[in-house]
Structures are given as C-alpha cells and as structure tokens.
Amino acid sequence: MRLVFAGTPEFAVPCLEACRLDGVELAAVYTQPDRPAGRGRKLAPSPVKQAALAAGLPVEQPESLKSAEAQARLATYAPDLMVVVAYGLILPRKVLAVPRLGCWNVHASLLPRWRGAAPIQRAILAGDVETGVALMRMEAGLDTGPVLLEKRTAIGPHDTGGSLHDRLAVLGAEVIAEGLRRTLAGEALAATPQPAEGVTYAHKLDKAEARLDFTRPATELERAVRAFDPWPVAEGAIAGEMVRIWAARALDRWHDAAPGTVLGASRDGIELACGEGVLRVTALQRPGGKRISAADYLNARPELRGARA
C-alpha cells in the first residue's frame, strides 16, 4: 500500500510512526510550511517534519492544496491512501479524490461530539467524563465523514489539556495501526455514518478565554484551569495582582463574599470566592516569573496570610 501522510503538530507524530508498517510504503509526508517560533522568531520545522526527516522520508510543504500545481504534485505520488492527522490545511474535493482508498482522518473526540479545532480542551471545559479518538473517512464537510474505528478513554478529575492530549495521541496511533493492519489483510472496514443528534463544535481556543471570571461557579473555573494547561494557561487576579493559574481545585463551600475575594491563604493554597463555591489555587506564576507553589507565592506576599478566613 502506498500511503501519503499529512500532519503538523506533536499530536500527529505517533500516528506518523504508526504508519510505518510492513506492507506500507510511505511515499511522502505533507506538513505545513516552517513557521517563526521562539523568542528569536526564527523559522522552525513542525514536529512532523522533524520526525519525517529523521526517518528519511520525503517532505512536502505547500502553502495550500487548492492550486492545480499542488494537486498535480500529490497525484504524482499515486497514493492508495492518505492519512490526515491535525494537518491544519483544508483538503479540497479534488484532493480527497486522489487516493484510491480515499483519505482517513484521526480526530481527537468521539464524533459527532466536538467536531472542529479544539476537541480535547472543549471536552474538559464541558465536564465530559469520556472522550476518545475516531478514525474517520474524510468528506468535504468539517469532520462529518463516517467513522471506521474508535477508541475511548475516561477523562479523570486531574486530567489537563496536556495529559489528555498525550493519551489521545497514543490512542490515535493505535487506531491508525489497527485500521491499516486490517485493510492490508483484505478487510473492508465498516463505515458508520455519524448520527445527526449530538453534534457539537469545538471552536478554536482564544487567549481571551483564559481570563477567569470569578462570578462563575468554582467547578467551571477548575475545569478551565485544567483545560488551558499547557496553553493558553488560565489567568486571574489575586488581591490585585494578575497571575497565571496552573493548578486549582473547586471546593463546595458557602460564602457571602464578592467574587474574587481572597477568603484564606495557607501552604495548601489560596482560596478565592466564586459565584458558587471556592477555588483553591495551588500552583501559579507571577508576571515574568516561573511556575511556583501557593506556599512559595505566599512567601513573597505574606500579607495574604491575614486574609479573611
């Protein structure tokens, strides 16, 4: 089987590795063009490009797949199948029609829930107790194609955007490997159409969302802190100082204080009044500083220890 892989971020790297099976010829790896990164804003290759070059695979980096030239270039590889994982570019109908077996996509949710750009974080924000990965046959619509295989995982009370990302990346590699092995064995994978009910959209994350609104319930804010770790990282004011909040826990506790009031501060954390309940911040970051514990923060702001109990 001749296969073309298309992906860009770290999430796609395990899937690329999973495609390197006996009986599969990786004809080319498509990834987005190098982008400025770091403080020096120097052009940097994507994680998928780095992995492909390390494996000695041909790399293609078109700005778009909409041009006749880009589509003709893809056709020269004569792929039987194209596997797409977090590529970040739209695949026009003409591209979807190039591979003999079509295009497969690994999506980090249990479709049709959380179609779109940020399914991992949206699942945590919504309080979902389960998510997973879906292997889908691509259509022209946004994540609308029939599902070939899926794998599930629970969302634990301490899962962050980062921990769930890493676990789903592994599951994505497993589902790709299973799909390829079964196809190579001559099996036609059953394509199950997505139900019309239960469709939700995982809109792209915006840094403005990371600003915590303490009029909201503490349980929602705890989920936001977990979802936005490691990016864009939740932010909130503690007694007048805006900080990044890396870890926090919701407490089911009644109070009559204004939202955002410091209710107490100890080595266990800094407790902030919310619209419902209390948010105990346990790890945070001052402007220009590094991530520290609440205990270390209180060493720099000892006046908070005398806050309202």
Residue numbers in the known binding site for (6S)-5,6,7,8-tetrahydrofolate are 109-112
Distances from the Cα of 288 to the Cα of 18, 67, 293, angstroms: 40, 44, 15
Question: 135 and 148 in contact (C-beta within 8 Å)?
Answer: yes
Nearest to 60 by CA among 40, 39, 75, 81: 75
Element (H, E) at 124: helix 119-125
Known binding positions: 109-112
Q: What is the DSSP string of 52-110?
A: HHHTT--EE--S-S-SHHHHHHHHHT--SEEEEES--S---HHHHTSSTT-EEEEESSS
- Name the residue with tokens 């596997």: 83
- Identify whether the C-beta of residue 1 lies closer than 8 Å to the C-beta of residue 180: yes
Tokens of 14: 């395990």
* 106 close to 77: Cβ distance less than 8 angstroms: no
- Kindly tell me the number of DSSP H helices and DSSP E strands found in the chain: 8, 17
Long-range contacts for 53-57 (Cβ within 8 Å, ≥24 apart)? 55/20, 55/26, 57/26, 57/28, 57/29
